[in-house]
Amino acid sequence: MKSLIAFLIFFIPLSCIGQQNEKFSIEVFAGPSMPLGKFADKSYSQFNNSSGLAKVGFSFGSDVKFKMKNNFGIALDVSYSLNKQDKRAIENYINRGSNYPLNTKIEVNSWQIARGLVGLYYQHLFKRTRLGFEISILAGVSKTAIPPYNWQVYTQSGNLYNSAQENKKQLNWMFSYKILSGINYKLNNRMYFLLNVSYFNAQTSRATSNLKYWFGSADVNGGLGFLL
């Protein structure tokens, strides 16, 4: 999965270079990804739990764009995000009602979400300046898996008292959408700097338990765009 996403993000857009048609452009971007709602919820329980426990993470990706008339265009967005789960949420659950912190061993991993979206954008360049702005609405699909984790609680004498484990489990494909606004600054005739703020949302269920999982995030991305 990781190698496929890397190929889509970096090699497919670059294959467009050489067309020399300014209606086409590619953008490469990266930045922090801040989980929202249920995805960021730290209310952990080892039974029937769908809280994401997600911390602030990282997202990166690439857009391929085709500009139509009146500053409107079509964009293909391929991106990837990683958000580590929070150990503290599990520690709070384990130590709930305890007078003293228990001896614990906790291992957590990251949510990894692959996204593929397509939609419309509107871009406006201010006259007599290098500055412009953009808004876009995109929809598509994304894919992720419940990250594995495990924890153990030990007595003062070192004996195992309690434990829980979650293996990696693939979730169903998700309908996803993204709303974006941003600015760009033209560096030369072929390249511009961009800074975007976007809201991403998706949801799916776990087939074996019918638990609902929500994945919302606010992404702040900076990068470069190239006119082709």
Q: What is the pLDDT of residue 219?
A: 98
Q: What is the pLDDT of residue 207?
A: 66
What are 117-126's pLDDT values in tens digits? 999 999 998 8
Q: What is the pLDDT of residue 89?
A: 93
Amino acid identity of 90? Answer: I
Q: What is the pLDDT of residue 226?
A: 96
pLDDT classification of 19: cutoffs 50, 70, 90: very low
Asked if residues 185 and 159 have their Cβ atoms less than 8 Å apart, the reply is no
- What is the mean pLDDT of the segment spanning 99-117? 91
- What is the mean pLDDT of the segment spanning 27-44? 97
Q: Tell me the fold of 2-227.
A: Porin (2.40.160)
Domain boundaries, the chain: 2-227
Whole-angstrom Cα distance, residue 102 to residue 99?
9
